[in-house]
Chain A
């Protein structure tokens, strides 16, 4: 039951083999039984989940069910959910219950999906290990001594452990793909503008993008079908028509040109991870694709550029958390300044404060040109690298992350090492491109993700590539011991 795809579950629901209520109850039981070891959920909403499941069963009977109707999913706790706490992994919003639904949340609501709860995450999506959460670290179901990656670590762990059929995530510098890679699931970051950011708590507005986290590419296609589309409430949302993602999953790969990014196979890459990625690329060669080496010469500049742009935007985006209207407020403020200072000092964790400080500095008078403006220029160079590459190849491939999941606590004292965990994913956000992480052969018994980057709005192609690999391999079907 808990290994079925969304399509299989949908068929079972429509055939009356089982009800959404039973399915939902089953997932809730698993969460109650298994999540203590993982801490993947911040909130579990049993009552509303069961209520939605009942409504979905009614809808099923009335013949008005869609592909997601009655399917139990989870939302990353960065998406605003009316009536459910939306904490963003922070003490700052531990008391915040949103009065409105995010665009993504209302789309799933309309589709009839059952929301089991809200998943744990790095505080305000700032982290690569899910250790910066106010609600404690999430554990990797493949080895609970290890991190699940971040910032969408709760979603990745929950999907890998079969505590939800699928989950939503967000990706600012790798926050869908890196945890998907570390937990052995499929995670897609769509083109910037493909999925509405309305109601998704902003970290870095020009980089943030929501996307699906699932066990298979087929499920990711079904989830993206619900999430994607123009939203007039988001000025950066794209009016590009949304294709039928499921229809192109089986497309032939003959003649497809794959570019292996040579800069990504550098000294920092774990040789075992490199081997798994190369083996997967060989599979594509066997499926008829042509593989060539390509260069993205400005790759090395991606991490420093990102760590100017993203903190700059976050320093401004997080200004609204001031203790005045909602969220955490310090006890007994002496005056306005004290209210601001202590509410923010006590409400934010160390990593968030570090990035606010970096960003504030980068935007300050006298430093703006040297940091923010320079970073924007390099961002253009990085985009140009990709544009040139896509003149000769259809997709790019490489590893998602340089290593498999590291141990809890291993990198928490060294932010720069932690930042390098996203070294291959960050450039994609700076360019606004779509990319997917697909499970390939494990290394040291831990999952490894293959990174496939497409041109703008090539999500269907990425899902097609991931699906074709998943037809000839079964890495995505492996379940972590103890969570079968």
Chain B
């Protein structure tokens, strides 16, 4: 039987506010345990939550970016359950009335097509603390630094039909939240997390199969692996005459498999009800208008503009707009005399990205900034150096040896464009390789490369390749 996979994702994006969603404590990552937990975060008797306006602004930006807008009235509710890292015995979340309603994003498919994925809703909530089981013999430690950190939970429709589509959607949301400046997207620190609902059904069947919820998916790689494992598990189960249970399963990255959580942890009745300590969030037109004007150019629009304005192909435009910093770098590069947009695109996506990846550096911190690289590309454009020499210059710039002109000057890398000088070398090469000349003249055209190589070797790559080609053809014909 042929099976169809159905996937929906719940993404938790930690909002990049300075303070927590309901208290003034800092949200900075990595502080000593319990040093960033104030009376409110500790759930002391008598304390009350006060909503952080910035969290509402950030959620609103997301709503606008996915075409959902901002709900004029949303309500915080209490989700009640006991856990040691949940200080109040309830999590403040949104239930019936979330701040962001239905929207959508468009993902790219592998066959160059696109697909629209529905976003059911996105709501604000507070994060819980962390339980530390390692350091205390026979006991558990609780770190409440993370308690009260603002989260935007983004719930998709079950619109994805393969793990690849799920990853594409997740990347899309990841790109979007970073463009909007509302989440740093750091998955290692848990700023961007994902749960997945997975089911399979016989192809052609309208009804959904029974789904399993996968948790603990904290990297793109794990999401894909977990989804693949889970889809295969469910198909094997069904084909073997078994049934898929509706349950929550944890992904174990070490074994590469999913396992059911203990039943007790999911047998909760959360007893949601509106939090009487917080008033409904009322949004007016002015608030939304201000959000709209503050919205940056979004990834899809930027990519479209790059294609139209710079004549780039979809692939290059996608690469360059994958994050705001890269796109900004690219446009700064063009402004700095980067010349031909296609050449500039190749350099950003090629040598620059390669060097950044190699040294693990963020593009915003690149030792070769857009101005420096622009200076280099200008020298390629005006034939001062060849593309090949430019790579040498780039590496020197990367090591901090100065700008392109200084390096070209210091190393004498300037391209030889004097026809007389090149002619002499061409003649020498022809004279020194009579056998090859004979073969070439007899019709072995591909020896052209050999002659060019010889000339380049003799000039240490500095001869203008175009001139070399022309002269060789003239002399050999």
Contacts and interface: CB of A to CB of B under 8 A. Distances in A.
A binds B: yes
B88 A199 contact: no
Most chain A CB within a 10 A radius of its CB, from B50, B142, B279: B50
Contacts of B256: none
Contact of A80 (B45, B49, B78, B89): B45
Main secondary structure on B side of the interface with A: loop
A426 interface: no
A231 to B, nearest CB: 9
Given A99-B39, A319-B90, A363-B80, A201 B277 contact: no
B89 A235 contact: no
A111 interface: no
Most chain A CB within a 10 A radius of its CB, from B82, B84, B142: B82
Interface stretch (A245-253, A322-330, A449-457): A322-330
Nearest to A326: B44
A309 to B, nearest CB: 9
Contacts of B271: 315-316, 360, 363-365, 368
B44 A100 contact: yes
B87 A316 contact: no
Given A80-B46, A99-B44, A235-B49, A313 B276 contact: yes
B51 interface: yes
Contacts of B42: 325
A233 B279 contact: no
A328 to B, nearest CB: 12
A236 B44 contact: no
Interface string A87-102: 0100001001011101
A202 interface: yes
A368 B273 contact: yes
A230 to B, nearest CB: 12
Contacts, number: 97
B45 A320 contact: yes
A316 B80 contact: yes
Nearest to B140: A336
A205 interface: yes
A336 B278 contact: no
Most chain A CB within a 10 A radius of its CB, from B45, B82, B269: B45
Contacts of B276: 204-206, 236, 313
A201 B45 contact: yes
A324 B50 contact: no
B295 interface: no
A93 B45 contact: yes
A201 B39 contact: no
A232 interface: yes
Contact of B84 (A99, A234, A324): A324
Interface residues of A, number: 44
Contact of A325 (B43, B50, B272, B278): B43
Given A98-B45, A316-B271, A316-B273, A236 B279 contact: yes
B47 interface: yes
Given A197-B48, A199-B46, A326-B44, A320 B273 contact: no
B41 to A, nearest CB: 11
Contacts of A198: 46-48
A86 interface: yes
Given A316-B80, A319-B90, A232 B50 contact: yes
Interface in A185-204: 197-202, 204
A320 B51 contact: no
Interface string B54-94: 00000000000000000000000010101010011110000
10 contacts: A80-B46, A98-B44, A199-B46, A318-B89, A319-B82, A322-B89, A325-B42, A325-B87, A360-B271, A363-B273
The 9 lowest CB-CB distance pairs between A and B, nearest first, are A319-B89, A206-B276, A205-B276, A363-B271, A199-B46, A201-B45, A320-B43, A80-B46, A320-B88
Given A98-B45, A197-B46, A197-B48, 5 more contacts: A235-B51, A235-B277, A313-B276, A319-B80, A368-B272
